[in-house]
Amino acid sequence: MLQRYTELLIYITESAVTRDECTSAINTVLELIAGEDTDTVSKIYEITLSTLKAGSNNERLWFSTLVHYGKALLRSQDYCQLAHVVRELHASCQLSDGNDDPTKDNYLLEVYMLEIQVNSLLARHSLLCSRHQ
């Protein structure tokens, strides 16, 4: 599966297909693997994100793929890796001086939404743990 998926991603780097076709193909695969073991899911996302960052001029697809990865990590409760993803997402929405880029307000909404979900789950978990002590 990983070999075939890597071959599929070659079409993105060679600009052999349109952006819409790339987005559709990647999203289809990511939806299909949602229930797989976390190691496979992580590998697919890592391959996708590195390919998009290196060989594609499609920032929106890279960003939305990273958001989907964050949501997958949230479901699997991999908070350490999720924290890294949220930091990377937020950094991609900042100006060189470290302030949020107002031209990326839609992206920032998605970052804040993911941060709120993480903090909400962590607060709920912390509350549950304190009740059992």
Supply the range of the domain harboring residue 63.
Answer: 2-131
26: helix, strand or coil: helix
Q: How many CA atoms lie within 13 A of 7 on its CB side?
A: 4
| pLDDT digits (tens), the chain, 133 positions | 888 888 888 877 777 778 888 888 888 988 888 777 778 888 999 999 998 888 667 788 899 999 999 988 888 888 888 889 999 999 999 999 999 999 999 999 999 999 998 888 877 766 555 555 5
For residue 41, what are the contacts with CB-CB under 8 A and spacing of at least 6? 33, 34, 72, 76
For residue 104, what are the contacts with CB-CB under 8 A and spacing of at least 6? 92, 93
27 vs 92: CA distance, rounded Å: 21
Query: Domains in the chain: how many in total?
Result: 1
pTM of the predicted model as reported, rounded to 2 decimal places: 0.83
